Chain A
Amino acid sequence: MKTIIEVTDLTKKYRKSEALRGINLALEPGRIYGLLGRNGAGKTTLMSILTAQGFASSGEVRVFGEHPYENERVLNRICFIRESQKYPDSFTAEHAFKSASLFFANWSQELADRLVTDFQLPLRRNIKKLSRGQLSAVGVIIGLASRAELTFFDEPYLGLDAVARQLFYDRLVEDYSRHPRTVVLSSHLIDEVANLLEHVIVIDQGRIIMDDDAETIRGSAFTVVGSAEKVRTFLGSREVVHTDNFASLASVTALGTLNESETREAAELGLELAPVSLQQLIVRKTMSGSPATPEAADRTLSEAAR
């Protein structure tokens, strides 16, 4: 089997809006996918339908080759803790983990225990009394410790501090390399997760606007740093994605690739070539389709990153 998820012409209509408009996707097993997009782009809706928690208005969904709805053969291999996951009122985090261990065949209590220590999660406190970050930690721990063949993380970092977020990324990569599986990580903190991702899917207003290897996407643009004047001359008529100015210096991201002589020319001019930020590329791409100004969206994304 080559694909783990196949989606054809998927739509989801609500009474007054369209959350998904004709989604087509094919995901391969054993990779880390980033499902990126702004708030309300349709990320959670898409994941809900893929895990049979939600219902499509039309279109075809195949997970492990079958339709996931009420299908234990498929669902047994999936874990999807949503960003707004609800837990029974009387539960503590310990109760939640105990319940999860009943249903995930590959559940690792050892990993769960270690993550509890990492995140300093109070095990015996009522879940209702946990902070937003601690609540996110509960979801992250279930997602990681489940070791499900297909694991979805839905903006798992909400309320987590920088240290906890880094811990999550580290543990994810670590456990993933030891126990390969397919991970779909939904996020709007693009720069933070960029290094984890092997494949990037960008969704905007219910449509897929980018679906490519992370490497290919990074290679589709480059950043030049140097004196503003020289940078401008060097780039000529190339399409500029993003410009940062500090005094007389500029850091400019442009589309396209550089050949060897161009790279040499940059060096001779005293310009530095740097890898491009996935976030800038995606913001740029997202902008072209939406009415907001690029500056506004850039701000939204960087604010969200905080």
Chain B
Amino acid sequence: MNRVVNVMRMQLTNRWIFIGIPLIILAASFLLTLIIWSFIPNDGGVRISGGSQAVMWYFFALGIQSLTLTFPFSQGLSITRRTFFLGTLSLFSLIALVTAVTYWLLGLVEQGTGGWGVGGSFFALDWIADGPWYQPVAFYFAVMMALFLIGFWSATIYKRWQATGLLIAGISVALALVGTLYLIGSRNAWPEVGAFLGSQTQLTVAGWLAILALVLAGGSFLTLRRAEP
């Protein structure tokens, strides 16, 4: 257990990468959005920005970074693969949770200040911010974990089977997607699919993403178990 915590501390040795940069991305995308809003004529309508997703994409990059070079280093420090996996995943779950709560809190501020005084919508987007507090938090958290794990598993596949592995994995995913589209199309099921997607709340989407994240985590662990630094 102690070593799992130490893996978290090792990943955080350089705080800049895992805490500083996400904060800067968040602050920069928010400030840029404010600037853009300031020169759009205010007709009293709502101004919506998707800028808040910038940090979430950074989680994909973090997933890759936290494995590619830190895993070989952890092997040099005689850390087992299991401990490395548990520590890394725990740390990023924690970071994702803190980020999700931050988004929700900033969303409250946004709603309380009439959209930063200009009717803007950056954190508290419609649909996502609806409902009780845990719904948006669960949604943000699940999105970030899924993105992080996609990066983490890809990096693990690369570490274990190099470019060949990544190529095969990429082609398989593309084939699965195309196959699904074909199945839906061939059965004329698009209206049903549309209805299904339209009926989702942010909480059910969070649920689907959580299932995806669990599958990704399991796959990452099994891949990592036989990876060499």
Contacts and interface: CB of A to CB of B under 8 A. Distances in A.
Nearest to B14: A90
Most buried by A among B16, B73, B76, B228: B76
Contact of A88 (B9, B14, B79, B80): B14
A130 interface: no
A39 B137 CA distance: 55
Contact of B73 (A48, A78, A86, A148): A86
A303 interface: no
A300 interface: no
A86 B69 contact: yes
A139 to B, nearest CB: 8
A104 B77 contact: yes
B69 A87 contact: yes
B226 interface: yes
A100 B77 contact: yes
B69 A78 contact: no
Contacts, number: 77
B227 to A, nearest CB: 10
Contacts of A207: none
Interface string B1-18: 001001001100110110
Given A55-B226, A81-B76, A102-B6, A70 B69 contact: no
Interface residues of A, number: 33
B76 A80 contact: yes
B77 A99 contact: yes
Given A53-B229, A55-B228, A99-B10, A90 B17 contact: yes
B73 to A, nearest CB: 5
A98 interface: yes
Interface string A194-216: 00000000000000000000000
Interface in A51-89: 51-55, 70-72, 75-76, 78-82, 85-89
A53 B80 CA distance: 9
A203 to B, nearest CB: 20
A78 B70 CA distance: 18
Contacts of A79: 76-78
A98 B15 CA distance: 13
A5 to B, nearest CB: 15
A103 interface: yes
Nearest to A85: B76
Interface string B110-148: 000000000000000000000000000000000000000
Q: Do most interface residues of chain B lie in helix, strand or loop, or is the interface mixed?
A: helix
Contact of B14 (A70, A86, A91, A103): A91
Interface in B38-83: 65, 69-70, 72-73, 75-83
Contacts of A53: 75, 228-229
A90 B16 contact: yes
Interface residues of B, number: 26
Most buried by B among A54, A72, A79, A88: A88
A71 B82 CA distance: 10
A99 B80 contact: no
A95 B70 CA distance: 12
A90 B69 CA distance: 10
Contact of B80 (A71, A86, A102, A104): A71
Contacts of A88: 13-14, 65, 69-70, 73
Contacts of B226: 55
Given A48-B228, A72-B83, A89 B69 contact: yes
Most buried by B among A78, A99, A100: A99
A281 interface: no
Nearest to B6: A102
Interface string A92-109: 000110111011100000
Interface in B166-197: none
Most buried by A among B3, B10, B13: B13
Contacts of A82: 76, 229
A32 interface: no
A103 B6 contact: yes
Nearest to B82: A70
A86 B159 CA distance: 13
- Counting from the closest, the 10 A-B pairs by CB-CB distance are A86-B72, A75-B78, A102-B6, A103-B77, A99-B10, A90-B14, A88-B69, A95-B13, A70-B80, A90-B17
18 contacts: A51-B78, A70-B80, A71-B80, A81-B76, A85-B76, A86-B69, A88-B65, A89-B65, A90-B14, A91-B13, A95-B13, A98-B13, A99-B9, A99-B13, A99-B77, A102-B77, A103-B79, A148-B78
Interface of A: 48, 51-55, 70-72, 75-76, 78-82, 85-91, 95-96, 98-100, 102-104, 142, 148
